Structure 1
Amino acid sequence: MKKLVVLTGAGISAESGLKTFRDSDGLWEGYNVYDVATPEAWERNPALVQTFYNERRKQVMVAQPNNAHQILADLEQHYDVEIITQNIDDLHERAGSRKVTHLHGIITRSQSDKKASLTYPIEGDEIRMGELCELGSQLRPHVVWFGESVPMIEVAAKICQRADVFLLVGTSLAVYPAAGLLGYVPHTTIKYVVDPNIPDVGRYKNVTTIAEKAGFGMQKLKEILISNA
């Protein structure tokens, strides 16, 4: 079975109704991202950051996987599919995808404020101030904030190196280090890009682009991928 490696970004979740800060000039649901998505913001006003992510978590739990998520899950019948996602939602998992690497964490888990590798499932949809990890520090969202390292990037790079087919869906390749992952994909690997605004991939070989939103673009690509499996 060929290995299909997929890198997904905000565009795939947008069709499920989840917004990102790039929708409106750096504002995310009315907040400046640097007020709610940085370590400095957490130090300055942890209650505000906690409330912000509690609201985002509620939105994620209400949202449903869309056609693009479902097609990627269905492709496991034809490929060894590994998904690397920049998104913090769990829509890939809920669609049925079994191998998902979250570069920027996942909002349905909490983590220790003292030791990021200590993560926990969240009961319900909120983390409350005063909820502590086993080390006695405040629990925070299991999300990589701006200015923090991306611990899963090396794992993702190794996955990309093994790709027989590579697919980019719903990402502008504007956020590093995720944007550099395409450079780890072998030159000979067939690559597909699905996004209404195709990012600059001119320096890469064997690239086919589909300038459509994730759902429609994946519907067009599905038959091609199945026929080439």
Structure 2
Amino acid sequence: MRPETRQKLLEINRLFYEHSAATFSATRKRLQPGVNRLLTTVPPYTDLLDLGCGNGNLAIALANNAFAGTYLGIDASEALIADARAALAAAQANFSFLVVDLADENWLSLLPRQAFALITSFAVLHHIPDTSARAAFFQSMAGLLAPEGRLLLSVWQLFNDPRMLGHVLPWSTAEIDTTDLDAGDYLIDWRAGGFIDQRYVHVFTPEEIRALGCAAGLDLQQEFCSDGKSGNLALYQVWHKPA
């Protein structure tokens, strides 16, 4: 993928979260069923990095469950981080949030620490364009894990529900050359707030994302599908970093 195409795709998503942060946040007040399932496995005293934390709904759930470890949530959207900080204003000082763009090549240097026992990355990886960039991001997540640490992630499996085909937009809408895209790249609409917005999404095959994790030196511990009316709109994985 050419750098200019990758930047166009990143800009599509940046503008989405700039224009539609409020309506998006309003739909993310509750955790997805798959996230709730994994929430029960989070130790109460771990140090957790939440990549793409959005409006802090995971942090809120942790606080409500008497989480006593340290939590750092990062997201590129200033509006969503503001929502998260407001929601956790009365929580303990062990919850913190930073505005960090995961598409920035230097995002790792913006973190206050470089080792975490637990990393969550729910519905993030599929917004990163370009095969090599996705591989590099997975490598970065693996690098941030402490030995014996775990990575909990999810990616959308949109077309497990045929109704989602109705949300696919033509690439001509964004003036993107389709010959420069990866297999599995889609432009998806967002219908809320009285207008239609758009987002870039990469729809992974399970084999594709397994290969990324193995190449990053991690061991796959668990995999399942969950979410949506069909119960299979997202693929969840639990990865382990060997000592």
Q: TM-score range by the shorter chain?
A: 0.3 to 0.5
Structure with greater strand share of residues = 2
Q: TM-score, normalised by structure 1?
A: 0.43
TM-score of the pair, normalised by structure 2: 0.41
Bigger RCO (CA 8 Å, 6+ sep) = 1
